[in-house]
Chains A and B, each alone.
Chain A
Amino acid sequence: MSGPPGVLAAFQHVDAAVDAIRAVKELGYRDFTVYTPAPNHEVDKAVGHKVSPVRLWTLFGGLTGCAAGFAMTLWMSYDYPIVVGGKPLGSIPPYVVIAFELTILIGALSTIAGLLFHSWRTRRKAAYDPRFSDDHIGIFVPAPPERHAALRQLFIESGAVEVKVEG
């Protein structure tokens, strides 16, 4: 694959990977990529991402859905008035159910949209290995060739099971 030049390391143990991530950050690298086969809080913490902006999408999607649910049901009841069961035309209690469902639906859909949007914007090419979807943790650090030797050394010292130099 023709990704950017850099160093790719595979780890078998979380502790070793976490140490390596910390060491890489200490050297000043910020745009490295970490792969884990399963969500892992320690890796999460070591990478130290800021809080994801996706949650704002969820909030605004949810509020939009809630407003839309009430707006739609009330508008429909008054636009085509039929009295049902002797209730007032605009009856809030049953519309809560529809507003609630739309809160969830639009909230979930906008979460997916936000996820796609942000990961599309921050996507970058990085080397990969199928083991990272199985039982290894991977770290890829893009770097110009003159820094490869130092990074390689760092990964081996922190306990990588394999280190590959790309490009």
Chain B
Amino acid sequence: MSGWFDKESYRRAASVPASGFIIAGGVLAAWGIVSFLIAVSGDDPARAWRIYHVNFLYFTGIAIGGVLFSAVHRIAKGWWAGPIVRFAEAGAAFLPVSLLCFLFLFLGSRYVFPWVEHPTPARGKWLTTPWVFWRDLLSLVAVFGVAIAYVWHSLKPDVAELKDRVEGYKKNLYHRIAGDFTPTPEALARNEERLNRLAPLLCVLYGYLFSLIAFDLVMSLAPYWVSTLFGGFFFMGAFLTGLTSLGLMMVYWRRKLDLGELIGRQQFHDLGKLVFGFSIFWTYLMFSQFLVQWYGNLPEETSFPFYRLWGEWRLIGTMVGLMVFVIPFWGLIWVKAKITPFTFTLFVSVSLVGMWLERYLLVQPSLTEHGPHIGLVELAVTAGFLGLFLLAYGMFAKTFPMVSPRLAEQAAKLHH
């Protein structure tokens, strides 16, 4: 059992150089926060709050999507992902930040939620600040709590092995996580059992509670528009961003840590297939909602999609369709394009940026009279959120082993 981390590549992955993440993240975050504060105290605070909301939704989706990928790989027994799951789990580090961002959002709630200043009688008490705030806070705490517990137990065996070889703050933390865990087969099996329970729990909670988040924080921005499918559309989109950002992280760490022997054709091919599949699924959900609303042609239903597909928003609407569906579809349909790191990175990035535009398109047109306007404030706030994400991710990478030798060995056994 001893000596998982004696192999060269695992040793490299156990203490990774993450200062790049932390420095870049710190600079971007500082720029974003300063610009946001200036914009909020300026004469158009609503503009800053709107883009804040878009980015809060987008980066929360990336962070929870990563942890969800790990849970899904466990439920589906997709052991091929063994060497890369930790890159996805690292997103968990952003979840506490995301919760703070949610609390902070309610400082500006009157700029974001139209029903704060113009209550919507048709929705009664359901859409009032205390109700929305408390039920969404509890939902986020529940999902994030289970997600962090999941990552905690996933780290446990790896951390237990390293706990006496690390120094400083890591030592305390590792001892805390490892607890009285000893790497006996029984203890490992018990830990696996716990993870096998947490994974489906996380998925079910995510499905239910992120539907609620989608209804409360996105659909309520256009309080008279209803779509029962919107929750699913929203959280599956967030899962897609989790997959695509995992793709970028995989390419980055593979290169940075020289992990070519662990992460190969299989990982690129399979993750490429998942991104391809979920791009189609995103389109499927979008279209199945669009079709019925188009057919029924009821003004209160069609106003939401049609406003985004014609007129001023047409450019963004078209770009979202191209970047999330058409380009990744025709790009990733070929095996060669999935397994070549350059094309894989290219199409995955297109999808990731496209999903940002999608979140922008979901939120922004409900809140403004005018068309899309992406200026310095929007860029700075987006960069600020990216910075916070990179900062949290970098801290995780600096602290914990970024490849789990157990899972990597399990994957290697599949195709020797």
Contacts and interface: CB of A to CB of B under 8 A. Distances in A.
A94 B297 contact: no
B224 interface: no
A93 interface: yes
B77 interface: no
Interface of A: 41, 85-86, 93-94, 96-97
A94 B287 contact: no
A97 B295 CA distance: 13
A85 B295 CA distance: 8
B291 A97 contact: yes
B290, B295, B415 — which one has the most chain A CB atoms within 10 A of its CB? Answer: B295
B290 A93 contact: yes
Contact of B297 (A41, A85, A96, A97): A85
A94 B291 contact: yes
Main secondary structure of the interface of A (DSSP, over half): helix
10 contacts: A41-B415, A85-B297, A86-B297, A93-B291, A93-B294, A93-B295, A94-B291, A96-B287, A96-B291, A97-B291
Interface string B280-301: 0000000100110011010000
Contacts of B291: 93-94, 96-97
Contacts of A41: 415
A133 B70 CA distance: 37
Interface in B291-332: 291, 294-295, 297
A86 B297 CA distance: 10
Given A93-B294, A96-B291, 9 more contacts: A41-B415, A85-B295, A85-B297, A93-B287, A93-B291, A94-B291, A94-B295, A96-B287, A97-B291
A128 B173 CA distance: 62
Nearest to B335: A51
A41 B287 CA distance: 37
Contacts of B294: 93
A41 B415 CA distance: 8
Nearest to B287: A96
B361 to A, nearest CB: 19
Contacts of B415: 41
Please provide the 9 A-B residue pairs with the shortest distance between their CB atoms, ordered closest to farther.
Answer: A93-B294, A93-B291, A94-B291, A96-B287, A93-B290, A94-B295, A41-B415, A85-B295, A97-B291
Contacts of A86: 297
B411 to A, nearest CB: 14
A97 B297 CA distance: 18
Contacts of A85: 295, 297
Nearest to A91: B294
B279 to A, nearest CB: 15
A130 B290 CA distance: 54
B252 to A, nearest CB: 29
Interface string B355-372: 000000000000000000
A87 B17 CA distance: 60
A96 B415 CA distance: 40
A108 B275 CA distance: 23
